[in-house]
Amino acid sequence: MMMKKWAFQRNSEPKTTSETPTSSVLTILMSNLNQSDRRPIIPMAHGEPSLSPCFGTIQTTADAIAEAVHSAKFNGYSPTGGLLPPRRAVAEYLSQGLTNKLSPDDVFLTMGCKHAAQNILTVLKGSKSNNILFPKPGFPYYEFLARSCHLEVRYFDLLPEKDWEVDLDSLESLADENTVAMVIINPGNPCGNVFTHQHLKKVAEIARNLGILVISDEVYDHITFGKNPFVSMGNFGSIVPVVTLGSLSKRFVVPGWRLGWLVTHDPNGILKQHGIIESIKGYFHMSSNVPTFIQGALPDILGRREDHISSKNVNIIREATNSCYKGIIDIPGVSCPSKPEGSIFIMVKLDISAFKDIKDDLDFCVKIAKEESVLILPGISVGLKNWLRVTIAIDPSSLEDAIKRLKSFCGRHSKKSKSVECWLDHIS
């Protein structure tokens, strides 16, 4: 009998194409942990505050969900893009900081910020030769998405010596007639920067000249604690069409609830004229909607319950940033050119030449996992070699411990450590 061939086979897409995908780096780090180290593992590689007890479950937010479930009003299917009351609630919530107020029609509810990003990148896919501009360092998920949408990725630099502002000159030289959009992340992951009003306006003006859409990932909106207040890119919608992306995940510390939004800021109707709004809706017809009981709780979550939550958590993150920054700048071999003002990360620069036996950032992270049970993401995972991305949203006591371990690790591997030991031998 002839062997029947199967008609299906592995799809080559989407595939992870970045040099060192975050998930495989994390696997490498975890596999290097020393099982006999009795000290607790300090998880500074993930951006997951919900893992740290100090950020705990927020009772009022949980109550809003329970009320929505018990009301039995939210058991049906959701209309595409979400129910009207929660879309209105998002429009009102985001309009607080905007000159052009939003209407519920500008808001689409999504299953988290990632789903919102997936929507807009799918919409922009267009012809095979389209390209999109991403920040470097950045959030690797975008690269993954773009590749699976056949969008060529080009990177503009964020400049550490200028508080991680966009290298505006490079934008103009990167873009060509096939460039469709640029992405910014504000407040920044991984840099912890918060763009000024003035800088965002310049970005908007350049994007308008290039004729491209600005996609602004604002998932850390209002997690700010420095001199620059959070300004939404949505404020510049009259200069250039803007799509903002956000979610409950980070601010309300409930990433597993999967509630986010895609919002269009387009007072001049350019997106509508170009059929983009229709395409966004078309995509939502195809994908599923946010569970209705979570939508039902949203007006309550965003409305009266919001302030206390964010100020408490932002205070914890502010303190953590201060102590982390202070600790790091005192350690030879590592430095932090720009103190974070928002989000939950700090970018730390490695001076590889200061170490006697550390090859690069990945080697540093593998060794500190092994020797100190501290997990840190190597910069290469976010596009910047010989840097580290450190998550500061962990419990304050662990953070203090982490700084001590980092200090002893750097001391032990420093080129100077040998001579110090000899010197100590000498005097004893």
Ligand X SMILES: *Cc1c(COP(=O)(O)O)cnc(C)c1O
β pairing state of 374-378 and 42-44:
parallel
Question: What is the closest distance, in whole angstroms, from the C-beta atom of residue 219 to ligand X in the complex?
Answer: 4
Which residue, 47 or 237, has its beta carbon nearer to ligand X? 47
Q: Among 247, 295, 391, 398, which residue interacts with ligand X (rule: CB under 6 A)?
A: 247
- 144/176 Cα distance (integer angstroms): 22
139 binds ligand X (CB under 6 A): yes
47 binds ligand X (CB under 6 A): yes
Letters for 382-421 (x = contact with ligand X by CB under 6 A, - = none) are: ----------------------------------------
Q: Among 52, 118, 189, 235, which residue interacts with ligand X (rule: CB under 6 A)?
A: 189
Question: What is the closest distance, in whole angstroms, from the C-beta atom of residue 140 to ligand X in the complex?
Answer: 10
219 binds ligand X (CB under 6 A): yes
Which residue, 78 or 189, has its beta carbon nearer to ligand X? 189
Q: Among 255, 296, 327, 379, which residue interacts with ligand X (rule: CB under 6 A)?
A: 255
**Closest Cα partner for 267 from 247, 240, 249?**
240
* Buried-exposed string 168-189: b where 16+ CB fall within 10 A, e elsewhere: eebbeebbeeebbbbbbbbbbb
Return the number of other C-beta atoms located less than 10 Å from residue 418's C-beta: 10
Which residue, 110 or 373, has its beta carbon nearer to ligand X? 110
Between vectors from CA 41 to CA 35 and to CA 44, what angle results, nearest 5°?
135
Q: Is 359 helix (H, G, I), strand (E, B) or coil?
A: coil
End-to-end CA separation in angstroms for the chain: 85
> 229, 71 in Cβ contact below 8 A?
no
Return the number of other C-beta atoms located less than 10 Å from residue 252's C-beta: 21
121: which residues sit within 8 A by CB, 6+ positions away?
132, 142, 145, 146, 149, 151
CA 196 to chain centre: 18
Which residue, 113 or 180, has its beta carbon nearer to ligand X? 113
> 208, 159 in Cβ contact below 8 A?
no
* Two tokens, residue 188: 């920044």
> 102, 95 in Cβ contact below 8 A?
yes
Letters for 54-93 (x = contact with ligand X by CB under 6 A, - = none) are: ----------------------------------------
Question: What is the closest distance, in whole angstroms, from the C-beta atom of residue 259 to ligand X in the complex?
Answer: 8
- 234/244 Cα distance (integer angstroms): 7
Q: Among 87, 88, 114, 147, which residue interacts with ligand X (rule: CB under 6 A)?
A: 114
Question: What is the closest distance, in whole angstroms, from the C-beta atom of residue 218 to ligand X in the complex?
Answer: 9
Which residue, 179 or 249, has its beta carbon nearer to ligand X? 249
Instruction: Kindly indicate which of the ranges 34-42, 198-206, 243-251, 353-361 contains the residues binding ligand X, using the contact rule CB under 6 A.
Output: 243-251
> 102, 91 in Cβ contact below 8 A?
yes
**Closest Cα partner for 224 from 348, 89, 315?**
315
Question: What is the closest distance, in whole angstroms, from the C-beta atom of residue 277 to ligand X in the complex?
Answer: 22
Which residue, 171 or 262, has its beta carbon nearer to ligand X? 262
Question: What is the closest distance, in whole angstroms, from the C-beta atom of residue 255 to ligand X in the complex?
Answer: 4
**Closest Cα partner for 194 from 319, 392, 342?**
342
- 329/335 Cα distance (integer angstroms): 5
260 binds ligand X (CB under 6 A): yes
Q: Among 65, 107, 113, 207, which residue interacts with ligand X (rule: CB under 6 A)?
A: 113
The footprint of ligand X on this chain (CB under 6 A) covers a number of residues equal to 14
164 binds ligand X (CB under 6 A): no
Instruction: Kindly indicate which of the ranges 108-116, 147-155, 221-229, 300-308 contains the residues binding ligand X, using the contact rule CB under 6 A.
Output: 108-116
Q: Among 185, 214, 369, 382, which residue interacts with ligand X (rule: CB under 6 A)?
A: 185
Summarize as ranges the residues that interact with ligand X (CB under 6 A).
Answer: 47, 112-114, 139, 185, 189, 217, 219, 247, 249-250, 255, 260
